[in-house]
Amino acid sequence: MKLSDEKVIEFLSSSPLKSFAGMLDGLRYVDNVPVPYESESELVDDALDDDVEEQPKVRVPEIRGIPPIALLAFVEHAHAFEVLKRHPRIRLDKAPQKISLLYELTPSGRYILKILEALTDASSLPLS
């Protein structure tokens, strides 16, 4: 389903991230990022291979200076607008308790991504 112009404007104007470049980077980063089910607010690096008994180690992403709490607020905002969807992902090579949620862009999210790419490209052009 394609978003209406009004919904696109509402999504962009009410976003917790106020720059188009930041929103673009945030959506690109979150697309296909697994997040532990028990601690959805933490962006965990799978490469650390934490034990189930240990607390997960958190990697703080450096995305054009976006703090993790702002990224989380943006993820919730995008999910509310159905720009991102999440579904369970179970790693078969790990303990069955290791369930995580996988965020993916919806077709509407891909549409927003194209709009953000066009906006950031246009804003980087020199004025003459």
Q: Are 101 and 39 in contact (CB under 8 A)?
A: no
b/e per residue 71-103 (b: at least 16 CB within 10 A)? bbebbebbbebebbebeeeeeeeeeeebebeeb
Among the listed ranges 74-78, 83-87, 104-108, 123-127, which one has the minimum average pLDDT value? 123-127
pLDDT in tens, 60-73: 455 667 887 888 88
pLDDT in tens, 101-117: 788 899 999 999 999 99
Q: Which CATH class is domain 5-123?
A: mainly alpha
DSSP 15-35: -SS--HHHHHHHHHHHTT-EE
Give me the residue spans of the domains in the chain. 5-123
